[in-house]
């Protein structure tokens, strides 16, 4: 199969074609280096330039203020579920507040319980995680060590439009599945983490953006790799960083800057794309049932159901025949999930919308 299909996978997920082509073109020998990016030492000038470029592009794209540090770590978002409370909660009297808006928020909370005291600021369980809390719904402790949120619940398809107000308490955000999909007011956050393989690059690297004062909480007793302060001191070079993943992330950031025109433009495109699918859901007379409440709908992961399991199976099979892949919902929620990250072209979403309309006409 040499033809590319439209890949709606939740992650690892579609990457921009120009990024793949550039990586392919330069794979055997980086221009001016004479070696592959897979072969160069992380301590040499070639990789040093890549690391600094990736960092600088993130600073520019997200307008990251000077009192924040950008780290490139391994272990995925899952390791951050532990690393965040190890550094910010362990051995403290205070508790951490967790906002549970779906499967990933719940997992983050479970891991935090191993490190310290945890309080549930809100839990969407009774509604099947189809909505988000309003400001009045949150039970926040003004003395909490931090508040943890998940900006986009990849499995349920609910996404915050704005940050909850946590006052002086640092806000920690798992932004794995909407990182770089829109501008973010970084100064509202204490720490943001995102594994790259949803929207920012390949698996293997996780970006952590952390406010400098929070680094003081990291205890020297922590294993070196798991210590944010040490990772910041060593500029993500405490050990060998995931060089290839950082290289591709840099190419993705360059694509966002030079071909898309920044994160506001990206957000506009993402709105267009998701609206196209939601409009088909809403105009289907109940044939397609969206999982998320309309006000909380994700621009990244569109989740919906068909009337029966048989129709769902038929939908998935027919979609593949049309080159629309990986639309099956997560086993915990069922139904259909169309992940339409930054790199999903408008043509893919248009093809999906047309297929959905035709399928409903045939089976509705
Ligand atoms: C995918 C995902 C994770 C898990 O990421 P890993 O890199 O597999 O550990 C965590 N949180 C969110 C929101 C995700 O989408």
> Per residue in 19-78, pLDDT tens?
999 999 999 999 999 999 999 999 999 999 999 999 999 999 999 999 999 999 999 999
Asked whether the predicted pLDDT for residue 1 surpasses 70, the reply is no
- Is residue 5, in this structure, part of any structural domain at all? no
What confidence tier does 156 reach under pLDDT thresholds 50, 70, 90?
A: very high
Over residues 9-33, the pLDDT tens digits come to: 999 999 999 999 999 999 999 999 9
123 and 201 both lie in a single domain: yes
Q: Are residues 350 and 314 in the same domain?
A: yes
Answer yes or no: are the C-beta atoms of 99 and 105 closer than 8 Å.
Answer: yes
Q: Which atom of ligand 1 is nearest to the CA of 150?
A: 13
- Give the span between the Cα atoms of 290 and 110, in whole angstroms: 28
Domain that holds residue 126: 18-259
Secondary element (H or E) of residue 106: helix 103-113
**258: which DSSP letter?**
I
Distance of alpha carbon 21 from alpha carbon 219, whole angstroms: 43
246 plus 332 within the same structural domain: no
Q: Is it true that the peptide bond before 74 is cis, omega within 30 degrees of 0? A: no
Residue to substitute in 72, 73, 76 for testing ligand 1 pocket (most ligand atoms within 8 angstroms of CB): 76
Could you tell me which residues come within 8 angstroms of residue 196 by beta carbon, excluding any fewer than 6 positions away? 179, 202, 203, 204, 205, 206, 207, 245, 249
In this prediction, residue 218 carries a pLDDT of 98
357 lies in the same domain as 277: yes
Task: Give yes or no: residues 236 and 278 share one domain.
Answer: no
Write out pLDDT tens, residues 179-193. Answer: 999 999 999 999 999
Backbone phi, then psi, for 205, in 5-degree steps? -125, 145
**Among residues 198, 232, 259, which one ends one of the domains?**
259
pLDDT of residue 146: 98
Task: Write out the catalytic residue numbers.
Answer: 104, 174, 198
| 56 and 34 co-located in one domain | yes
Q: Is 146 in the pocket of ligand 1 (CB under 6 A)?
A: no
For residue 364, pLDDT beyond 90 = no
Question: CA neighbours within 13 Å on the CB side: how many for 270?
Answer: 29
pTM comes to 0.98
pLDDT band, very low/low/confident/very high, at 332 (cuts 50, 70, 90): confident
Question: What's the full length of the chain, in residues?
Answer: 364
Is any atom of ligand 1 closer than 6 Å to the C-beta of 150? yes
Number of structural domains the chain divides into: 2
- Tell me how far apart the alpha carbons of residues 182 and 199 are, in angstroms, rounded to a whole number: 11
Same domain flag for 245 and 290: no
Rounded to the nearest whole angstrom, what is the distance from the C-alpha of residue 26 to the centroid of ligand 1? Answer: 29
Q: Is residue 33 assigned to a domain? A: yes
CATH of the domain at 301: 3.90.1150.10
Average pLDDT, the chain: 97
Rg (CA), the chain: 21
Q: Give Dmax over CA atoms of the chain in angstroms.
A: 64
- Any domain includes 13: no
């Amino acid at each position: 199969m040499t033809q590319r299909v439209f890949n709606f996978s939740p992650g690892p997920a579609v990457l921009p074609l120009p990024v793949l082509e550039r990586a392919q073109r330069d794979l055997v020998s980086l221009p001016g280096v004479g070696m592959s990016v897979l072969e160069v030492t992380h301590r040499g000038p070639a990789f040093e330039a890549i690391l600094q470029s990736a960092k600088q592009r993130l600073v520019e794209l997200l307008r990251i203020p000077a009192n924040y540090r950008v780290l490139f770590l391994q272990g995925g978002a899952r390791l951050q579920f532990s690393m965040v409370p190890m550094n910010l909660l362990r051995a403290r009297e205070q508790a951490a507040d967790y906002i549970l808006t779906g499967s990933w928020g719940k997992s983050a909370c479970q891991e935090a319980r191993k490190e310290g005291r945890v309080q549930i600021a809100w839990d969407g369980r009774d509604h099947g995680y189809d909505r988000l809390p309003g400001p009045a719904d949150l039970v926040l402790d003004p003395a909490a060590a931090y508040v943890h949120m998940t900006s986009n619940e990849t499995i349920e398809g609910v996404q915050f439009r704005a940050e909850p107000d946590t006052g002086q308490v640092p806000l920690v955000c798992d932004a794995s599945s909407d990182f770089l999909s829109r501008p973010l007011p970084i100064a509202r956050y204490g720490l943001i983490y995102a594994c790259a393989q949803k929207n920012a690059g390949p698996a293997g690297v996780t970006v952590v953006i952390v406010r400098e004062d929070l680094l003081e909480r990291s205890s020297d007793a922590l294993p070196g790799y798991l210590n944010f302060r040490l990772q910041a001191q060593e500029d993500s070079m405490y050990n060998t960083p995931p060089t290839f993943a950082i290289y591709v992330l840099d190419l993705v950031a360059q694509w966002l800057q030079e071909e898309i025109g920044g994160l506001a433009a990206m957000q506009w495109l993402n709105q267009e794309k998701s609206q196209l699918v939601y409009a088909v859901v809403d105009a289907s007379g109940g044939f397609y049932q969206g999982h998320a409440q309309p006000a909380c709908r994700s621009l990244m992961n569109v989740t919906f159901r068909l009337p029966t399991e048989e129709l769902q199976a038929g939908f998935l099979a027919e979609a593949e025949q049309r080159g629309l892949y990986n639309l099956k919902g997560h086993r915990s929620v069922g139904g259909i999930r169309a992940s339409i990250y930054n790199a999903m072209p408008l043509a893919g979403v248009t093809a999906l919308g047309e297929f959905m309309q035709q399928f409903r006409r045939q089976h509705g």
